[in-house]
Amino acid sequence: MSSEGLSNSANCTTAEVVQRYHLAWKACDLDAVMALYHPQVEYNDFFQNKLFHLTQLRDYVRSSMPLEPQEVLEHTDRIRFDDDTAFIQYRITLRGGPGLVSFRSSEAITVRDGLIWRINEYASLIHEQPKSQGKIDSRPATSRLGLSARQLGILALDLQEYFATAQPYLDPGLNLQQVAAATGYSRNQISYLLNQVLGQSFYRYVNHERLKHLLVSISPFQQAAKVDDLVFAAGFNSLSAFYKCFRLHIGITPKAYLKLPVEQQNALRTRG
């Protein structure tokens, strides 16, 4: 952060400590961040609705810090000061898919005795879609399930892995409770991820997995009548549900899809 971002009214000690804190986060230096916390620090994460003390903060900071090449922390405004309190705004994207666990955050950081004594963090998760799928959806969502942004990303990956390996969608009667029991997450946690983060219902998610399975099963020279036989084997419980899902994700009817050259079918299958 450039010096022009420092307010003239800022307490000099507060400005120095928060500047060091900002640079430590930017450098992903966990030890430097931890060295700036007061022994009696209180870190209020209103996204998770949790309060952290010093002994709990190392793991929390490590889990929140960008660690991989695709993970990004970007500050979106200059640091502002009001006596012993500083205000920082940033955007952070953590592992879990394109924009899946990207969120905006604002922190009020209070300094006492030359160290960070209190942080109030207010975050809103951003539901985004890859650029190729259209306009970004910036509807905010907040977690009241005790899950951090990174934990939501891990949940998404666990769910994807479970569906890829166990193929539970082949059961036409699959329900949310069965998935929760198999993955070890609660129904509310999975519902929150699907509804608030991914922007879809449980059954829409499951039918999309069925569609991906079916598309792999279709021969490039498959006849339309034969495709209907594969629909129920993929777990769909009705042809109407299949046709609706196909149009939603592929954009055309199955009959039109089968008339396309193999290269175009592969392109649409990858997109869907």
Tens digits of residue pLDDT in 28-43: 999 999 999 999 999 9
The C-alpha atoms of residue 272 and residue 263 are separated, in whole angstroms, by: 14
Query: Are residues 127 and 16 part of one domain?
Result: yes
- Answer for the pair 81, 14: CB distance below 8 angstroms, yes or no: yes
**What is the average per-residue pLDDT within 260-269?**
81
Has residue 158 been placed in a domain?
no
Does the global pTM surpass 0.75? no
Query: Are residues 188 and 120 part of one domain?
Result: no
Has residue 180 been placed in a domain?
yes
How far does CA 98 lie from the centroid of its chain?
Answer: 8
Q: Using one digit for the tens of pLDDT, what is the confidence trace for 71-106?
A: 888 888 889 999 899 999 988 877 655 455 677 889
Give the pLDDT confidence score for residue 175 in this predicted structure: 97
Query: Are residues 174 and 224 part of one domain?
Result: yes
Query: Are residues 137 and 17 part of one domain?
Result: yes
Give the pLDDT confidence score for residue 10 in this predicted structure: 53
Query: Are residues 103 and 43 part of one domain?
Result: yes
**Mean of pLDDT over the chain:** 83
> 179 or 226, which is more confident?
179
Share of the chain above pLDDT 70, in %: 82
CATH code of the domain containing 43: 3.10.450.50
Has residue 152 been placed in a domain?
no
Query: Are residues 16 and 115 part of one domain?
Result: yes
Quick count: other Cβ atoms within 10 Å of Cβ 6? Answer: 20
- Answer for the pair 45, 52: CB distance below 8 angstroms, yes or no: yes
CATH code of the domain containing 232: 1.10.10.60
Share of the chain above pLDDT 90, in %: 46
Q: Is 195 left (phi over 0), alpha (psi -120 to 50) or beta?
A: alpha
In 3-state terms, what secondary structure has residue 115? strand
Query: Are residues 239 and 204 part of one domain?
Result: yes
Query: Are residues 128 and 9 part of one domain?
Result: yes
Residue 109 has pLDDT above 80, yes or no: yes
Provide the domain count of the chain.
2
Q: Using one digit for the tens of pLDDT, what is the confidence trace for 6-26?
A: 444 458 999 999 999 999 998
Has residue 16 been placed in a domain?
yes
Query: Are residues 91 and 40 part of one domain?
Result: yes
Give the pLDDT confidence score for residue 139 in this predicted structure: 41
Give the pLDDT confidence score for residue 138 in this predicted structure: 42
Give the pLDDT confidence score for residue 137 in this predicted structure: 43
Query: Are residues 237 and 109 part of one domain?
Result: no
Please give the residue range of the domain that contains residue 225.
167-271
Secondary structure letter of residue 157 according to DSSP: H
> 187 or 69, which is more confident?
187
Residue 228 has pLDDT above 70, yes or no: yes
Binning pLDDT at 50, 70 and 90, where does residue 133 land?
Answer: very low
The burial class, CB within 10 Å (0-12 / 13-18 / 19+), for 238 is: exposed
Residue 4 has pLDDT above 90, yes or no: no
Give the pLDDT confidence score for residue 192 in this predicted structure: 85
